[in-house]
Chains A and B, each alone.
Chain A
Amino acid sequence: MNVRAHMSMLFHLDKCIGCHTCSVACKNLWTDRKGAEYMWWNNVETRPGTGYPTGWEDQDHYRGGWEKNWVGIDLKLQSKPKAIANLFYNPALPELDDYYEPFTFRYEDLFNAPEGEHQPTAIPISAVTGDPIDIEAGPNWDDDLSGSPIYASNDPNLEGVSEEVRQQMGEIERVVFNYLPRICNHCLNPACVAACPSGAIYKRGEDGVVLVNEDECRAWRMCVSACPYKKVYYNWSTGKSEKCILCFPRMETGQAPACAHSCVGRIRYMGVLLYDADLIKWAAEGPDEEMFDRQKEIILDPFDPAVIKAAKENGIDDGWIDSAQQSPVYKFVKVWNMAVPLHAEYRTLAMMFYIPPLSPVVSTIEEGLVRLDIPRERVDFELFNSLEKARLPIQYLANLFSGGNEEVIEKILRKMLAVRIYKRRESVEGIIDDATLAMVESADTTPEEIEAIYRLTTLPTIAERFVYPPYHREMAAEAIYGDPLARKGDAGFGYVMPPERGP
């Protein structure tokens, strides 16, 4: 057992507002500069939709992630023998237009235009060239079902959804959307790291953060292609690749990443997961249907004395173990089985997790009148007994989160509904009867678990959502600079190496 610690984020999609505050928090802090204008380390996608960069899930085109072969797994981008041959030619590399050409406006004309026949207006220009531009794309182009016949209808995750349902999703009966916020998944089996010819990308031992070393990056851009989530970006100004750093300077000082901190929907949770690094290969090479089960298997129980012992032997201190025990992410993922990674079939062992969302009940149209498709008799939360009537098809969610396995999604949604029914009975009827208890059991949960899920879903304080381990930066300072006391005096005076433009 090779126990290591990982900082993981969890997204409760049922709570997501789709506001993009997270995206702007990140952009202000990290990518508000030349060469980074088009980068959105954190973005939010409307689903169904095709996301950013457009159609990023189309791995036949972008060739991201891993694929299984008869002995193990290979990067989809390049099986090993071909890697060297393809160093200078990478047809799967996304181009600027796959993201969008960043734009701005000639605002100063409003002040400077001489009096004329017409009112002056600030025209759109390219942020790259400064020339007038026709705005045809953006990082959030299909927001809230914008252009749904072009984008939502072509979401690859609709595969397997019946033609009838797909039609209805374009009509009042079943039109629906939800949101999918995305950051780097800081994978356990990161394709970007594997693809980098320069060895510039690494995973931090203490918290699992995957970083591109800005000094060592040589602009091969293999990481950009290899990442199936398209979360590594090439800075055209510095000639280096950059990506989400999980706000490690904030985490190291006990503050949540800017995207999580700013999450006004309170959908984000952060906490430590302990995992067994020795089993990564085993997990990554499993059969399709076992991908997520194996990943869960290598996430360890922080209360297990054997795990604690092994963790300590690996240098993980008490503070981190305590954090792992308090981790809200651990509870949702491992204890309550409510959270799943995005596209486990990419085999990168993504370490950010999602709770899939509920959606309203479908309608029917009868002689031009809209009628909720619910039984005549009164039942609280009809979907509990008829999840197929949720507007967002289960198959669709399964394609996003469980490699197409609908049962995984159904179990989560039914548990979420069981919480709602139970809490309603408790607060409205004032009694929990046998029928309610039977319902609870059928959702594979217990009243105690329901209470705990309810509290962590609705009532958590910021300290309960973000459980931070002690980073012991004094030890890092000792290791890097020799004397923490000296560091106390000279911090900030030091020469900081600026990244140099790549070859």
Chain B
Amino acid sequence: MTKEWIRDSEAPAERKWEEFYRNRFQHDKRVRTTHGVNCTGSCSWEVFVKDGIVTWELQATDYPALEDGLPPYEPRGCQRGISYSWYLYSPIRVKFPYGRGVLIDLYREAKAVYHDPVDAWASIMDDPAKRKRIQTGRGKGGFRRMMWDEALEIAAASVVHTTKTYGPDRVAGFSPIPAMSQISYAAGSRFLSLLGGTILSFYDWYCDLPPASPEIWGEQTDVHESADWYNSRFVAVMGANLNMTRTPDCHFISEVRHAGAKLTVFAPDFSQVAKYADWWIPSNPGQDTAFWMAVNHVILKESYVDRQVPYFQEYVKQYTDMPFLVEIDGSRPGKYVRADLVDEYEDVENGEWKLLWWDRSSDRPRMPKGTIGYRWATEDKGKWNLELVDGLSGDELDPELTFAGTNDDIKQVEFDNFSGAEGVVNRGVPVRYIETDRGRIAVTTVLDLMIAQFGVDRGLGGDYAVDFDDEDALYTPAWQEQYTGIHRDTVLRFARDWLDNAEKTNGKNMIIIGAGANHWYHNNLLYRSGIVALMLTGAVGVNGGGLAHYVGQEKLVCHASWGAIAFGGDWGMAPRHQNTPSFHYVHSDQWRYERGYSDYDTLPEFASTDDHTIDHEVRAVHRGWLPFYPQFKQNSLDLVKEAQGEGSGSDEEIVSYVVDRLKSHELEFSIDDPDAPENWPRTWFIWRGNAIGTSAKGHEYFMRHYLGTHSTAVAEELAGETVKEVTYREDAPIGKFDLVVDLNFRMDTSALYSDLVLPAATWYEKDDINSTDMHTYINPMQMAVAPAWESKSDWLIFKSIAAKVADLSRSHIRGPVKDIVMLPLQHDTPDEIAQPDTRDWYKGEIEAIPGKTMPKFRVIERDYSTLYEKMVSLGRGVEKNGVGAHGLNIPVADFYQELAERQPRDIDVSELNGRPYPSLERDREVCEAILYLDPAANGELAHRAFQAEEAKTGLSLTHLSDGQRDTRIRFSDLVAQPRRVLTTPTWSAVINKGRAYSPFTLNVEELVPWRTLTGRQHFYLDHENYLDWGEHLPTYKPRPDHTMLSETEISANEAQGRLLNYITPHGKWSIHSTYSENIRMKTLSRGGYPVWLNDKEAAEMGITDNDWVELFNDNGVFVQRCITSARIPKGTVFVYHATERTVGIPISPLRQKRAGMNNSITRTRLKPVLMSGGYGQFTYSFNYWGPTGVNRDTFVYVRKIDKPSY
């Protein structure tokens, strides 16, 4: 039978037709590029061009190999990336500039009268009817194609009008995570920095920032490249669906299992990654903390109390705060004991910021090196390191971990019980007494407090757990059952396997964690509970061990040089970096709809909670803990003029004038009265992101208060009765923004609701740089085809806006002006030792000292007429000051000069001319500048960075840069092949010779301290807010439930539905909203944004698969079809996040408006303890610290509906 079927090549004539397919495959060009989307993939792709058209893409597979024994990275790139080419020529592509018809008509009318663009714009904004007419039509269609010139003119007119009338800080810009297209991000941020506008953060707003990381490590986030998973031997995956969100990395997990690793997956649903698990542990949503607290109980009992594991003991002594002394303050744990309290160290520099432990050999409190007082030493330098050595005498030290057996006394200490009725439990803690200048005080170690906190009995008396089966005792395996729904035997078995693995492998235990854990209100406690299990088992700073948190592409590897360019450091700018959670909570008026945190946060009994979240926000701004813009009710440019008018000549005098006016309360902070029209943000630039749509927690409040258009929110305002520090205006403002400008390649929700939409080049149409934490290579983005139709790269667009602004400002903001910029106390600066306590100058409790008890102020000269020139030239600030990161200054003057020779640009403005500047005119030139001036890509600079670190630490470190000093990675190198970055102290791992990146290996192996109060990893947090919040020790707090959140009461009376917990994980068919409307993804999913329900629960509600359902609460409404499935747990409804309201969204039968999107259901709720500042690792940095945009505690009603109409 085969003879007749098989046709060999020797029967050629009949096979000529095969060219049909060969012809399709033939192509003209392959171009290496990547996707600038916030997915952390950073995948190298080849784009295939045929006949000048991008036809398809496939992954490049030429990553340089890592060390032997690790699987290779190829191929990287997922279902979403490979569908990107659809966008280029799709009907959703923004091909031309668009504006809303009503706006264009009004502008042209006004222009005919006023001629000057700024005057014309002002006339529209000053007319309430016209302004309202523009706002109410937002998002309702009526777009019209425009000429580029007119669109730029309107945008610039609004910028100049806002700056002149209200101040530059009323111009705001949002763009997410820069790492994936660093030049595009920098385009807008550089423009705003030079302007003095407000730059909105993203990592905290997206709730990607895990606050536990700065709490424990003083580090924003640092994680393993995915190849390092392969070094682990016990992996716990929690709140991270690797198949979905780490698609190109997921193979390392399937592979490491075959290398002998165990895999446990924690997820309430049977998620995709659960298929790989040995053990799937379906703990109840948001209750992982309880599970890990019980694991820690078992670890402490079985490897710290019943016996001691040498590896663990040595580890916690050297690398954690376990041996540090804490004062027992009355009956509660208090602050770390300060060195200057004891005679021996009373005269040391920064003695208030150096801490003590108990040395076994000398049997007295001693002062180890490495604490924060050493970091910011100005005299006694070079001792900021983790050697077990006394900082004063140089004696070797052997710290005591516990006083059990050597104690002077046992004190009954109060530990908070947030899960029980009694509030506190009292437990015996071994203490020693030490003599201080305050008299004799009782002190104990952090380990002793930990053992007591976890209830592990050592016969010290008090309310300890009897055994693991003690259901009433906090943190036992039996206790956790009520929260997690997981049997105690499973906890025990897990904990013992965890311990056993760590002991045998020296800490190759890893937690891979993500949004599913980080999006809960008490996310810091959840993370901390897991990190405790890692620290107790010596797993942090070890290849194959530690916390691998992957949410957001946070690793912009060349951040030292990039930061200078992106935020105008080269021109001496002080950028207005705003933490977005606070910004949106306040400005979109979401604070008005709640009584504040005390409805749902749980504090110790003694703490006073009769204030509102916004009160804490106000205090945090007053004290310099958090930024807030606009900063003052008065235009900051006018304020300086006023100061000058009153005789303040120097910058110092201007600052002191302003401080005096603040002290007298004559000058108001904008945060004190956020709804006053002078305090509204006015002009908003959105680029590379979906700020109004999928990242807008409380989207329907954005609709109402920002845009002034339709909203499906029905919630009641509740804040009036509780707020104390803020002016509550009876009528909430509707429509704060004058103009919203969106740069986009697709008509997404933000574009649809914007006033101007500017066509952006796609990722296959521009040059850029892309990096990630998931691997250690830098990838280029390259132009495979020219920007299609009238699109332009973001860099070119912002350059054009800058030119227009410069042009228009010449007649409106003449000459150089001075601006006073208010800045919070900053992480990685001496501000970390500014505030030993939390006394408030605003209330007169302490003197108002800028940079110490209150914000810092900098006077900046701005000449708007040179905005463009500065935008496209790299200023001499870099040459003079070098680049910096992690508190290190790295000199780069010689490289700056070489760059100026290689890509020279003259500035034709008298006060700026002279030697040529390095040009930043073109995207490619910006790429070259970033690469050439950063230690991660320039080996000589890595060497200099280690020299700088040596000076601070007194350690020998430059051996780490040996052998790489000659490396210079240029853009053309990246085009040829992805290049691996260099070992540099601007990051925390040693990656020489192909070793996989594991965070904090530099700290562990080289004894470089963590950037925290103790210089070590923290089990204990002694900031006064943490003591007040009962979060000084790792603890468990219950999840807020629907009765606390004030978001379902009105809806309850509207229609019949079932109340479910609303879970919005990352989806399979999109990266956030991008790709979600791409026809490939729509086809492979179900053509919409389906709502997932448990099949049996759905049946009880009369819902069958693919029925239409309506999700509604007081915040808003969402309507889609549903999927019923056995893999979804009862009591929850899943909507994979970041839906668009642009595609296939019907009218809500309930609210009779176009149904919204996934964030129509959510609302912003901030956790005040995360606003702490001015103290060690609790010091502000952009995207680094502050409250996060949590959204997972939300509840929603779900009901079946008939087929709705569009």
Q: A residues within 8 Å of B by Cβ?
A: 4, 14-15, 17-21, 23-25, 27-30, 32, 102-105, 107-108, 110-124, 134-136, 138-141, 143-150, 152, 169-172, 175-179, 188-190, 193-194, 199, 201-206, 211, 213-215, 245, 247-250, 252, 258, 261-266, 277, 280-281, 357, 359-361, 363, 366, 368-372, 374, 376, 378, 380-383, 391, 416, 419-429, 454, 457-462, 475-476, 479-480, 492, 494, 496-499
Contacts and interface: CB of A to CB of B under 8 A. Distances in A.
B248 A264 contact: yes
A266 B251 contact: yes
B364 interface: no
A249 B259 contact: no
The 6 tightest CB contacts between A and B, nearest first, are A115-B142, A205-B8, A424-B260, A371-B487, A423-B260, A113-B141
Give the size range of B's interface with the partner. 35 or more
B1144 A121 contact: yes
Contact of B101 (A115, A249, A264): A115
B1085 interface: yes
Contacts of B59: 261-262, 264
12 contacts: A19-B78, A118-B710, A119-B1145, A123-B1206, A140-B1083, A202-B5, A205-B7, A262-B77, A372-B493, A428-B260, A479-B12, A497-B16
A360 B504 CA distance: 24
A211 to B, nearest CB: 7
A248 to B, nearest CB: 7
Interface stretch (B19-27, B760-768, B1178-1186): B19-27
Most buried by B among A175, A475, A498: A175
Most buried by A among B256, B257, B265: B257
B17 A428 contact: no
A177 B1083 contact: no
Given A193-B5, A202-B5, A429-B504, A115 B141 contact: yes
Contact of B56 (A29, A145, A148): A29
B85 interface: yes
Interface of B: 1-2, 4-10, 12-26, 55-59, 61, 65, 69-72, 74-79, 82-83, 85, 90-92, 98, 100-102, 137, 139-143, 230, 233, 243, 247-248, 250-251, 254-262, 265, 270, 272, 274-275, 277-282, 481, 485-487, 489-490, 493, 496-497, 500-501, 504-505, 710, 747, 752, 1068, 1077, 1079-1080, 1082-1088, 1090, 1095, 1099, 1105-1106, 1121, 1123-1127, 1129, 1141-1147, 1153-1154, 1203, 1206
Given A17-B247, A107-B91, A262-B58, A170 B282 contact: no
A249 B7 contact: no
A499 B1143 contact: no
Contact of B1084 (A20, A112, A178, A420): A20
Given A176-B275, A372-B281, A380-B262, A148 B78 contact: no
Most buried by B among A118, A206, A457: A118
Nearest to A150: B1105
B232 to A, nearest CB: 10
A427 B259 contact: yes
Contacts of B8: 204-206
B91 A108 contact: yes
Contacts of B752: 110, 119-120
B1154 A21 contact: no
B14 A118 contact: no
Contact of A177 (B490, B496, B1127): B1127
A15 B1082 contact: no
Nearest to A105: B1143
Most buried by A among B91, B275, B1147: B275
Most buried by B among A27, A139, A429: A27
Given A111-B143, A119-B752, A213-B14, A459 B71 contact: yes
B140 A119 contact: yes
Given A138-B1084, A475-B9, A492-B26, 12 more contacts: A20-B79, A23-B1084, A115-B142, A204-B15, A211-B18, A214-B17, A262-B75, A369-B487, A374-B279, A458-B71, A476-B9, A496-B19
A277 B8 CA distance: 14
Most buried by A among B230, B481, B1085: B1085
Given A121-B1154, A475-B9, A152 B1126 contact: yes
Contacts of A211: 18
Nearest to A134: B1203
A457 B258 contact: yes
A498 B19 CA distance: 10
Given A135-B1087, A371-B487, A475-B9, A359 B275 contact: yes
A380 B233 CA distance: 12
A143 B1085 contact: yes
Contacts of B277: 360
B40 to A, nearest CB: 14
Nearest to A29: B56
B959 to A, nearest CB: 29
Given A170-B1095, A204-B6, A262-B58, A138 B79 contact: no
Contacts of A201: 5
Contacts of B496: 378
Contact of A480 (B12, B56, B275, B1127): B12
Contacts of A190: 5
Contacts of B262: 380-381, 424
A150 B1125 CA distance: 9
A258 B2 CA distance: 28
B260 A427 contact: yes
A139 B243 contact: no
B652 to A, nearest CB: 53
A20 B83 CA distance: 11
B75 A264 contact: yes
A136 B1107 CA distance: 10
A171 B21 contact: no
Contact of B6 (A205, A370, A426): A205
Contacts of A28: 55-57, 82-83, 85
A140 B25 CA distance: 26
Contact of A135 (B280, B282, B500, B1086): B1086
A265 B254 contact: yes
A147 B251 contact: no
Contacts of B1206: 121, 123
Contact of A145 (B243, B1086, B1126): B1126
Contacts of B140: 115-120
Given A15-B251, A24-B1080, A206-B9, A280 B77 contact: no
Contacts of B1087: 103, 124, 135, 138
Contacts of A140: 1083-1085
Nearest to A22: B79
Contacts of A460: 71
Contacts of A429: 504
Most buried by B among A105, A136, A247, A425: A105
B481 A369 contact: yes
Contacts of B486: 369-371
Most buried by B among A178, A211, A266: A266
A145 B1126 CA distance: 7
A1 B137 CA distance: 79
A366 B487 contact: yes
Contact of B21 (A15, A124, A249, A281): A249
A204 B57 CA distance: 28
B1126 A461 contact: no
Given A107-B1077, A110-B1142, A149-B1095, A18 B258 contact: no
B143 A148 contact: no
Contact of B1126 (A19, A139, A171): A171
A19 B259 contact: no
Given A176-B270, A248-B21, A262 B1105 contact: no
A148 B1106 CA distance: 12
A19 B243 contact: yes
B1145 A420 contact: no
